[in-house]
Amino acid sequence: MKIEQIYTGCLAQGAYYITSNGEAAIIDPLREVQPYIDRAVRDGVKIKYVFETHFHADFVSGHVDLSRKTGADIVYGPNANPEFTAIVAKDNQEFKLGNATIKVIHTPGHTMESSCFLLVDENGKETALFSGDTLFLGDVGRPDLVQKAAGMTQEQLAGLLYDSLYYKILPLPDSVMVYPAHGAGSACGKNMMKETVDRLGNQKKINYALNQPGKATFIKAVTDDLLPPPGYFGMNVAMNKKGYDSFDNVLRKGLNALSPSELETTKQVIDALVLDVREAGEFAKGFIPQSINIGLRGDFAPWVGALVVDVKQPIILVTKNGDEEEAVTRLSRVGFDNVIGYLKGGFENWKASGKEIDSVNRISVEQFRDELKIGVSTVIDVRKESEYAAEHVKESYSMPLAYVNSWFNNMDNAKPFYLHCAGGYRSMIAASILKSRGIHNFKEIAGGFGAIAKTDVPKTDYVCQTKMMKA
């Protein structure tokens, strides 16, 4: 028997590949499934099951494509009602995988169909728990994502989660290894550890949610300080529940090369979004007017989902040569299947064609230091509120990137300002969005607060409420 975690850092997502005596199971697979199929062929095993811990909100799973290509059965826990052929298992139902057994443990709370899968080895030992979004390392799944659909409050769902954890998971042996669906950086929880595997016994000791004196305190602990979920979550749930177009078709459509003139015409005819995925520094030097920059080398897909929101939005890509397939693939993981092509030859081809270009006024931290006048200059910090609260430029405004689609309405293009994040990735996203909305009178700071912190620019951790601006 073998267990392999296949972790995707940009989504903070863990899929699992399990084999025993010639048979394999995949748990919570990514959208592109060919790597799983290739791996099974190399190992000489047959993929028998695709287990889904729940209808995921933060990514589109590869369950439908994987089942179609391999004949594997898709398995959900109780209360699931997928609109495609699948096994909806009963609580405690067992599935044989070679000489091992996978047992379904229904754990509602994060969602009503949420289930964990307990792996029992060839000797009958309870070995591993694939805990989905029910139990993370250091945290538990947020109980606020399906409250409307379930006809329940987040507090009622948190109560179900308490029962699931305290009566079904905590009684398991301390030696059981916990393999969660997500790690630090995922929006599905609020306090996850950077580690991606741990023993249940250790989680019983250190996980705040597993050490509450009673249900009431548990409910309060897990519902406090929950940030609003990203807008695309509901659409991903729908795709996971209803099915979706084959990834092969999505990729084929997305790898449609467009000349500068074809891009220009297509953008106008169907109101496509031009998404430039180059690095921030390259984008700042020149880009197609009104295009949005979200760099492929950062938290690309989650930021697209948070800021573009509508997964049906037609998208045209501007990439470095050779990055087109990766960009289409990573967009499809969060349900953005409507990529209709990419700019052939990249931005250099656009520039060579003589068409209009725009740029961002990116300045050095030294220039910022020399120009800054505390109390006079306007400085906008687009980091998270927690980052801002830890330390920030004195008299700066906290305007998190996550809320940019709301706060840009308060901007006055006649008044100049400075813009920064932690290192330049998020502030360039904000800069591109502001410029696409007609806000141009600003300077973006290269290196962000990481560079500012090394200068004598006045800084503070004092948060004046009148300076906090958010949606």
Q: Tell me: do 10 and 58 sit in the same domain.
A: yes
Q: Tell me: do 317 and 399 sit in the same domain.
A: no
Q: Tell me: do 161 and 253 sit in the same domain.
A: no
Q: Residue 454 maps to which CATH number?
A: 3.40.250.10
- Mean pLDDT, rounded, for 12-21: 97
Q: For residue 425, which phi and psi values (nearest 5 degrees)? A: -70, -55
Q: How far is CA 363 from CA 88, 369, 446, in A?
A: 57, 10, 6
Helix ranges, 358-398 (H)? 365-371, 385-390
Maximum CA extent, the chain:
73
Helix ranges, 187-299 (H)? 200-206, 215-223, 233-242, 247-254, 260-270, 280-285
Domain presence at residue 240: no
Q: Say if residues 214 and 166 touch (Cβ distance below 8 Å).
A: no
- N-terminal to C-terminal alpha carbon distance within the chain: 51
Q: Tell me: do 252 and 213 sit in the same domain.
A: no
Q: How many domains does the chain have?
A: 3
Domain presence at residue 156: yes
pLDDT(465) > 70: no
DSSP conformational letter for 93: -
Token duo for residue 184: 């630090």
Q: Say if residues 451 and 424 touch (Cβ distance below 8 Å).
A: no
Neighbours of 464 (CB within 10 A): 11
Q: Tell me: do 325 and 374 sit in the same domain.
A: no
Kindly state the percentage of the chain with pLDDT values over 70.
98
Q: Residue 40 maps to which CATH number?
A: 3.60.15.10
Domain presence at residue 239: no
Domain presence at residue 318: yes
Compute the mean pLDDT over every residue in the chain, rounded to the nearest whole number: 95
- Mean pLDDT, rounded, for 463-471: 49
Domain presence at residue 357: no
pLDDT (tens digit, 9 = 90+) per residue, 154-203? Answer: 999 999 999 999 999 999 999 999 999 999 988 888 889 999 999 999 99
pLDDT (tens digit, 9 = 90+) per residue, 240-273? Answer: 999 999 999 999 999 999 999 999 999 999 999 9
pLDDT(438) > 60: yes
Q: Tell me: do 278 and 411 sit in the same domain.
A: no
Residue that has been written with the tokens 């406090």 in this structure: 224
pLDDT (tens digit, 9 = 90+) per residue, 338-372? Answer: 999 999 999 999 999 999 999 999 999 999 999 99
Domain presence at residue 153: yes
Domain presence at residue 270: yes
Of 234, 265, 297, which closes a domain? Answer: 234
pLDDT(292) > 60: yes
pLDDT(421) > 80: yes
Q: Would you state the pLDDT for residue 470? A: 39
Surface-to-core class of residue 92, CB atoms within 10 Å of its CB (0-12 exposed, 13-18 middle, 19+ buried)? exposed
**Domain span at 282:** 246-352
CA distance 297 to 206: 33
User: Residue 232 half-sphere exposure, CB side, CA atoms within 13 Å?
Assistant: 28
Q: Would you state the pLDDT for residue 468? A: 46
Q: 128-137, 143-152, 208-217, 374-383 — which is least confidently predicted?
A: 143-152
Question: 52 in helix, strand or coil?
Answer: coil
Residue that has been written with the tokens 């019983």 in this structure: 204
Of 289, 319, 352, which closes a domain? Answer: 352
What is the DSSP secondary-structure string of 288-352?
Answer: -TT-EE--TTSSHHHHHHHHH--TT--EEEE--TT-HHHHHHHHHTTT---EEEEETTHHHHHHH
Question: 102 in helix, strand or coil?
Answer: strand
Q: Tell me: do 79 and 207 sit in the same domain.
A: yes
Q: Tell me: do 53 and 202 sit in the same domain.
A: yes
Q: Which residues are within 8 A (CB) of 32 and not within 5 positions of it... i.e. 6 or more apart?
A: 62, 247, 329, 332, 333
Of 288, 318, 352, which closes a domain? Answer: 352
Q: Tell me: do 312 and 215 sit in the same domain.
A: no
Q: Tell me: do 55 and 123 sit in the same domain.
A: yes
Domain presence at residue 15: yes
CA distance 301 to 239: 16
Q: Would you state the pLDDT for residue 190? A: 84
Q: Tell me: do 336 and 381 sit in the same domain.
A: no
Token duo for residue 465: 């409420």
Which amino acid would we find at residue 400?
A: P
Q: What is the pTM of this model?
A: 0.92
Q: Tell me: do 121 and 266 sit in the same domain.
A: no
